[in-house]
């Protein structure tokens, strides 16, 4: 009798251990898939942001940029007004975009704003020539390498952003005239990633749990 009880107890232990092992494997597989899906979605969204920024940069007239001085004199420059209206229209047409702006760099390395998409006088408005004091090295690198990039999350006085950056030059072998930046709020970015990830990850977890149930639940 005791031998039968011992065998029955050992079998229960085996089943419990088997269930725990399968459950751990299911959870590990689910976690790995979730991480992979988040990373892939983030890469795809960064590629899309860069493509949008590139298209906007290509639509800006280079001669108009060349006419800018990066000083308050630009407020009376029709090219400044034209670019500002263009950036403002694009931003209003894209609810995900928070800021659009053109940055320039002086000979001493100081980075400043040529023009932004904000209404003049608003709290986030950057007048022509405003110095970007807290600019990060990743932004400066775009000026140095002439290579477009998506950087962030990066924090400045306006918030925390994922930014698409595209250099603009008159000729490929000439210095960068300006860098176009397009900012997406980091919280909005994370929320968009989560929205895109939740369905496929949820479906995979359901499938894995079904496998767990099939492997570990005893037949009736």
pLDDT digits (tens, 9 = 90+) for 167-194: 999 877 788 999 999 999 999 998 888 8
Instruction: Specify the 3-state DSSP secondary structure of 162.
Output: strand
Angle at 105 between CA 92 and CA 188, to 5 degrees: 35
Please give the average per-residue pLDDT across 3-23, as a whole number.
56
Please check the confidence at residue 26 and state whether its pLDDT lies above 80.
Answer: no
CB 54 within 8 A of CB 147: no
Please check the confidence at residue 2 and state whether its pLDDT lies above 50.
Answer: no
Q: Which one has a higher pLDDT value, 203 or 88?
A: 88
CB 183 within 8 A of CB 98: yes
pLDDT digits (tens, 9 = 90+) for 78-122: 999 999 999 999 999 998 899 999 999 998 999 999 999 999 889
Q: What integer pLDDT is reported at residue 39 of this predicted model?
A: 82
Residue 177 tokens read as 């005239």
> How many of the other CB atoms lie within 10 Å of CB of 26?
20
Q: Which one has a higher pLDDT value, 15 or 53?
A: 53
Task: Kindly list the domain boundaries of the chain, sorted by start residue.
Answer: 61-192
Average pLDDT value over all residues in the chain: 83
CB 65 within 8 A of CB 123: no
Q: Which CATH superfamily is domain 61-192 in?
A: PAS domain (3.30.450.20)
| pLDDT cut 70: percent of the chain above it | 74
Query: Among 186, 192, 191, which Cα is nearest to 151's?
Result: 186
CB 204 within 8 A of CB 33: yes
């Amino acid at each position: 009798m005791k031998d039968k009880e011992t065998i029955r107890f050992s079998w229960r232990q085996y089943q419990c251990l088997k269930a725990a092992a399968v459950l751990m494997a299911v959870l590990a597989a689910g976690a790995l898939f979730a991480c992979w899906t988040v990373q892939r979605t983030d890469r795809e969204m960064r590629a899309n942001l860069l493509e949008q920024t590139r298209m906007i940069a290509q639509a800006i007239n280079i001669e108009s940029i060349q006419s800018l001085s990066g000083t308050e004199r630009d407020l009376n420059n029709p090219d400044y007004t034209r670019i500002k209206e263009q950036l403002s229209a694009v931003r209003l047409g894209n609810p995900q975009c928070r800021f659009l702006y053109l940055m320039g760099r002086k000979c001493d390395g100081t980075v400043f704003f040529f023009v932004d998409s904000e209404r003049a006088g608003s709290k986030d408005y950057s007048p022509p020539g405003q110095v970007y004091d807290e600019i990060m090295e990743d932004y400066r690198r775009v000026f140095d390498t002439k290579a477009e990039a998506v950087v962030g999350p990066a924090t400045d006085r306006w918030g925390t952003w994922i930014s698409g950056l595209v250099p603009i030059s008159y000729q490929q072998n000439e210095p960068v005239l300006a860098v176009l930046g397009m900012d997406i709020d980091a919280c909005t970015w994370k929320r968009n990633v989560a929205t895109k990830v939740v369905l496929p990850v949820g479906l995979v977890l359901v499938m894995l749990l079904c496998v767990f149930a099939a492997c570990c639940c005893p037949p009736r």
